Structure 1
Amino acid sequence: MSDRPGLFALIAEDWRANGRDWTRPGFRALAVHRFGVWRMGVPQPLRAPLSILYRHLFRRCRNIYGIELPYSVVVGRHVVIEHQGGIVVHGATVIGDRCILRQNCTLGIKRMDALADAPILHEGVELGAGAVVLGRVHLGKGAKIGANAVVLSDVPPGAFALGVPATIRAGR
């Protein structure tokens, strides 16, 4: 038996992490993501209608809230998506536990010939508003990315990345 919590347990965790407010767009996007991951474990004859429902919910989150979080993204526990709008996450991205993403963040690839080279956010990473992280970049545990920073290289644990292109500063 798996030690990973089920769909409803994960959604309940996300609800608590997002201020116990089911109307927050970030919570709703995470719930749709969790549903999308869960439906992939359902046997094929039953998966088709669930996939149709998932696609509808995914497009709704993308088009209404501006949060694009495909089911192929690996999302840890207690993740918070602050504020809606302009959040794009590439499908090969990994987001660790207790990360915070703010509005207008982009987690993507650098080149079309390297589709799997997406960012990896370790535990406790915080992205400021408008942050852009491109390529196979590791953001270490507790790293903080400043508003509108463009990160193209690894950020060590506990460090700050600020500016365009981002420069690394030691954490406090």
Structure 2
Amino acid sequence: MKNLYNELEAIGSNTKGRFFIKSFRKSNAISKKKGVYKTLGLLYRIYYKILFNYLLGIDIPDTTEIGYAFNVFHGQGLVISKDTVIGDYVTVRQNTTIGNAHAEGGCPTIGNFVNIGANTCIIGNITIGDNVTIGAGSVVVKDVMPNSVVAGNPAKIIHPNYT
């Protein structure tokens, strides 16, 4: 069953990741409310923005679609666009940007079981398949097929169909 308790178990002992996902899920749920419930939750959403965006350097809007067991390691300098779609069991590390290449451009769709290294940029209307590892320092601007390892600037497949 996919509930917050099980999600925290899936994330493991990563304290920052656990704290982030608990706060994100609560703020995300409030953002979907209507009427008086949304108004009552406004203070929590402000708390979320101040704490994560300004103090911890994790710029992930609470309206972003993020799947189950999303894990943040060393979140400093992490920027993810609100229009990005992230699957289940995705791990992301510090100084990573995921979003559009220009103001009106599309954003990435990231599959399940994706591991994203530090200092990575994933930009544009692209799809990252399931079971992908993206090496640290990569710049990903094209689709990545499932079960691949990519690295470099621009990112290239260095190990296709690994499992």
Counterpart of 1:126 in structure 2: which amino acid? N
**Alignment-derived partner of residue 12 in structure 2:** 19
Superposition TM-score, scaled by structure 1 size: 0.85
Shift of 1:64: 2.3
Q: Within 1, Cα distance between the matches of 2:151 and 2:33?
A: 43
Displacement over 3 Å in runs of 4+: 40-43
Say if 2:59 is the partner of 1:68: yes
Give 1:41 shift. 4.0
Match of 1:154 among 140, 143, 154: 143
- Residues 126 and 144 of structure 1 are in contact (CA less than 8 Å); yes or no, is this contact kept in structure 2? yes
Q: CA RMSD in A?
A: 1.8
Structure 1 unaligned blocks of 5 or more = none
Q: What CA distance in whole angstroms lies between the structure 1 residues aligned with 2:77 and 2:20? A: 13
Distance 2:58 2:32 in 1: 24
Q: Are 1:131 and 1:148, in contact at CA under 8 Å, matched by a contact in 2?
A: yes
| Alpha-carbon distance in 2 for matches of 1:43, 1:149 | 40
Structure 1 residues 90, 41: closer, same or farther in 2, change over 3 A? closer
> Identity rate of aligned residues, in percent?
25
**1:92 paired residue among 76, 80, 83:** 83
Aligned counterparts of 1:109 and 1:146: Cα–Cα separation in 2? 20
* 1:16, distance to aligned residue in structure 2 (A): 1.4
Query: Unpaired runs of 5+ in structure 2?
Result: none
Q: TM-score, normalised by structure 2?
A: 0.90
How far is the alpha carbon of 1:48 from its aligned partner?
0.9
